[in-house]
């Protein structure tokens, strides 16, 4: 979605609202089905352009620990300073406009990718799966021996045993 900001830059309008909806496909491998909804506005403050808004990623995710599917929505605030030209090393502070146009889709995608968690959990205290038998530890306990000795240290296993 390309947002034409030329009227805003010229000063004929003070505010330009936007709404953007798209599929969340391809954002992360943990997203099974979801969508992105972003809305906000670009305002002209005496030649100083500011984009304010919020992006919401909602859908069905796969838990990184137990592999169960769960529904969740993530809210990401967006606030950017916009400029047509950059002076010096301002590249990190401003979004650069091309011919008075702003690609809202790319801006929203960058915001989501930089602020999205690395992995998604169904709940913060998810115990995950047993690495040996695969039992969901949130549901039941397994009888696997959890005191497995790393083979590299096996020679030292009885070193501290009392005689």
CA dist 99 to 25, 71, 103, 118, Å?
A: 29, 40, 11, 35
Per-residue pLDDT of the chain (163 residues; tens, 9 = 90+): 888 888 877 777 888 899 999 988 888 888 999 999 999 999 888 778 889 999 999 999 999 999 999 999 999 999 988 877 766 665 567 777 788 888 888 888 888 888 889 899 999 999 999 988 889 999 999 888 767 777 888 788 777 776 5
Q: How many residues does the chain have?
A: 163
Distance CA 24, CA 101 (A): 24
Single pTM value for the model: 0.74
Strands 31-45 and 48-62: antiparallel
pLDDT of residue 156: 81
The domain limits of the chain are: 2-115
Q: What angle do CA 94, 100, 102 make, to 5 degrees?
A: 60
Under 8 Å between Cβ of 109 and 116: no
Calpha distance 113→24 (Å, rounded): 11
């Amino acid at each position: 979605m390309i947002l034409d900001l030329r009227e805003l830059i010229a000063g004929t309008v003070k505010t330009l609202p936007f709404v953007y909806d798209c599929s969340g496909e391809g954002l992360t491998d943990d997203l099974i089905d979801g969508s992105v909804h972003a809305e906000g506005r670009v305002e002209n403050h005496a030649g100083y352009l500011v984009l304010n808004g919020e992006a919401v990623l909602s859908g069905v995710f796969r838990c990184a620990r137990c592999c169960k599917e769960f529904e969740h929505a993530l809210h990401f605030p967006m606030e950017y300073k916009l400029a047509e030209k950059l002076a010096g090393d301002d590249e990190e502070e401003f979004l650069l406009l091309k011919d008075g146009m702003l690609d809202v889709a790319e801006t929203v995608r960058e915001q989501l990718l930089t602020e999205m968690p690395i992995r998604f959990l169904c709940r913060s205290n998810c115990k995950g799966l047993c690495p040996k038998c695969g039992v969901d530890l949130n549901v039941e306990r397994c009888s696997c021996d959890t005191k497995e000795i790393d083979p590299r240290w096996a020679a030292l296993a009885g070193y501290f045993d009392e005689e």
